């Protein structure tokens, strides 16, 4: 199967790399920058070009340019019935269809950055013109870089953007906060980083293996009146949980706002 990428940014490189490792795909990346094309060809061993070659109905094209650049990038692009996958945030299937001359064979995808190491989460939504075979193709492609979650309604793309799409940034924020706390307690930079990473990694592994509710796991290490209890009570007093929920809601609202902006263009 031919899989073409329009755009050679980090997410395109991550997905392309996953497909190359999995095998069974002929991967081609179109990117305007000559230096980046050379690097992608060298590092991934894929075909590259400045523009996409002519497409056929048997091909898959993945739109991986920035949302604000998508209309220009798609100008003059003839899909010729190819399956279109889009990893651009905020661009609805209707908007993409308008950019692409009316095609409805579209699957929208919201991946996240851990896709670059094969541990991504991708939310997928199939437009009305994509059939079951198209859904299976999109799923196979994205499972090359992690797990997939199908969404019944396109509006849910905003919600998954707020949770898993932007979620790695929240984790990095918390990692940095814990590292800063470690530094404040006298650990050096290397120790603070190591302690923070190992704590997150161990806690996630324990949660995965135990299958217990996250709240129960927290209670298991929070004896009333003890040291952990004091930390958790401080988090509650500072409304850390509520702040995270509010942050996710703000992310979702911004995604909805962007969709309206792009849809009006």
Binding residues for NADP(+): 6-11, 64-67
Q: Which two tokens stand for residue 50?
A: 């400045």
CA angle 111, 114, 120 (to 5 degrees): 50
Binding-site annotation, residues: 6-11, 64-67
- Please enumerate in sequence order all residues whose Cβ is within 8 A of that of 76, keeping only pairs 6 or more positions apart, or say none: none
Asked whether the beta carbons of 57 and 81 are under 8 A apart, the reply is yes
Residue 100 and residue 78: Cα distance in Å, rounded?
Answer: 7
Helix H, strand E, coil C: the string for 150-198 is: ECCCCCHHHHHHHHHHCHHHHHHHHHHHHHHHHHHCCCCHHHHHHHHHH
């Amino acid at each position: 199967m031919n899989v073409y990428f329009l755009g050679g940014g980090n997410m395109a490189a991550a997905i392309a790399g996953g497909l190359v490792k999995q095998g069974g795909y002929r991967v081609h990346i179109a990117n305007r920058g000559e230096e980046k094309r050379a690097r992608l060809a060298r590092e991934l061993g894929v075909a590259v070009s400045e523009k996409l070659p002519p497409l056929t109905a048997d091909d898959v094209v993945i739109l991986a340019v920035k949302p604000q650049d998508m209309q220009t990038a798609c100008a003059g692009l003839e899909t010729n019935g190819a399956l279109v996958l889009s990893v651009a945030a905020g661009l609805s299937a209707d908007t993409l269809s308008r950019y692409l001359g009316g095609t409805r064979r579209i699957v929208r995808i919201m991946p996240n950055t851990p896709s670059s190491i094969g541990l991504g989460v991708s939310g997928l939504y199939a437009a009305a013109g994509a059939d079951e075979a198209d859904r299976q193709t999109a799923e196979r492609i994205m499972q090359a870089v992690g797990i997939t979650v199908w969404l019944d309604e396109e509006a849910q793309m905003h919600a998954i953007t707020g949770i898993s799409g932007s979620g790695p940034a929240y984790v990095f924020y918390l990692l940095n906060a814990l590292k800063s706390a470690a530094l404040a307690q006298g650990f050096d930079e290397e120790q603070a980083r190591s302690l923070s990473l190992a704590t997150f990694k161990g806690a996630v592994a324990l949660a995965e293996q135990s299958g217990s509710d996250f709240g129960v796991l927290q209670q298991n290490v929070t004896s009333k009146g003890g040291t952990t209890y004091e930390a958790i009570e401080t988090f509650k007093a500072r409304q850390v949980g509520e702040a995270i929920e509010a942050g996710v809601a703000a992310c979702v609202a911004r995604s909805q706002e962007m969709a309206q902006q792009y849809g009006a263009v």
